[in-house]
Structures are given as structure tokens and as C-alpha cells.
A and B are shown apart, each in its own frame.
Chain A
Amino acid sequence: MDIHMVSIIGAVIAVCFGAIGPAFSEGRAIAAAMEAIARQPESAGTISRTLFVGLAMIETMAIYCLVVALLLLYANPFAA
């Protein structure tokens, strides 16, 4: 198994497991925001804006995994 094989497997694992955590937490955040909007529809604007900012923060974790995967696939420092 050469370094390219290992890089591909590493990229796959990074995206696979890196997506699980953000997916769960984004689901929880959206569920909480839905509940809040259902209770107080008049504050939907503020809630959804805060939700978007929060989702962007959570999503950052998944994006870091994407960066690692991209680096492994296209700019791997060990595969010269």
C-alpha cells in the first residue's frame, strides 16, 4: 500500500467521520430553532438569522475535514 492509497483512504475517513458530528449538531440546532419559531412566530427573523450564523459556525468543523481531504488528495506534502 503506497502513500497515494493511504492518502485516499485517509481523505475518505476524514470526510466520513468529520461529517457525522456537524450533521447531528446542525440537526439539533435546526430542531431547536423550529420549536422556538413555532412558539414565537413574531421573532422568526431574529431566530433564523442567529440560526444561520450558528449553522455556519458548526459547519466550519465539517469544512475543516473537507480541507484535510482536499490537501490529502491534491496537495499532499508527503506524496511529492
Chain B
Amino acid sequence: MTSLIHIINASHLPDSDLQPIADAVERVFRRPVRLQRRPLDYERAFDDSRGQFSSGILLGQLLADDNLIGRKEIVVVDVDLFIPVLTFIFGEAQFEGAAAIVSAYRLSDEFYGLPTDHAKLLTRLEKEVVHELGHTFGLYHCHQFECVMRSSTYVEEIDLKQSTPCLECRRLLDRKNENSSLPEIRLQESL
């Protein structure tokens, strides 16, 4: 099976935590997904004045890879991400592009002073990975509350939505897939 969506684990989470997420991505996007580890140059992305990491610089490191043509990559990190105008972001994607980034940093209950809930963290991470990859496939934010493409500006909003697209976004995604040069895998209906 050709690996056409790469999930890069650049976090402290074990790969075993990310494998169910890779499976979910494969179900939603109907593409073969490969999970791999790759280090990022965090030092270059660190902003002293904010104490946060520039999402743009980290994303740029993925895009610098010449072998990126023909596939999509999403990197999972566990540092606090920012873009210049916003105080933080959960993730960022190149719209209809090849790369995306998601951070687990603000997805854990610990960040909000609550007891650790690892399962909840992984569920939120799965939704955000699917959400950002959705943008790379050309999906806009959706107004449906339960759709994975619903914009989330705080963590409770992520909890409200599902990890799958709504019917309308599903249709759009299928249409995009038809026009895409990426070979689609046929999935069992039970998936």
C-alpha cells in the first residue's frame, strides 16, 4: 500500500498512541496512512518574547522536504504553537496544500489545571489531526456543530464535535478526491 498521508510524530507521545489516530485518518480520507517519527528543529521556532513556538517556522520545515510532492504530511507536536496575531493555535494547515501541524499542548486537561485524562487528550488530538488534514484537502470551516471541520477556538468546542465530517463535508471531500491525482483506496463499508 502506497503511503500517501504521513503522520509525523515529533512529540513525546509514543507511536502506539498515534496509531489509532492514523487508522481514523485512513477511514476519513480513504488514503493509505503511514506513521513515522522525525525530529524538528524546535530551537529555531522558539520565540523568546512569547515563550511559544512559531507554527509557521515548524510548518516550513515540513515544506522544505523535496520529497513532499505527491503526499500530505501532518506533524504532531506537544509544544505551545502561535501565529503572530493570535495568542495561540491548536494547529495550522496549508489550505489545499501538502502540510499541516497540530499540537497536543493545549489539548490535555492538565494544561487547564484538571486531572490527567489521556484518553480525552488522544480523542481531541484525533479530531484536530482530521480537522487540519481536512483543510489540506480543501475543506473550509463548517457551521455544523458535530462536524470535525467546525472551527474550535477553545478546547470544549473540540469535545462537542465528532472526529468525522458531516454529510456535506463528506460530499465535498469525495468530490475533491475524484479530482485529485492521489490514488484513493477502497474501504470496506463497515469502516
Q: Do A and B come from one complex?
A: no
Residues of chain B at the chain A interface (Cβ within 8 Å): none
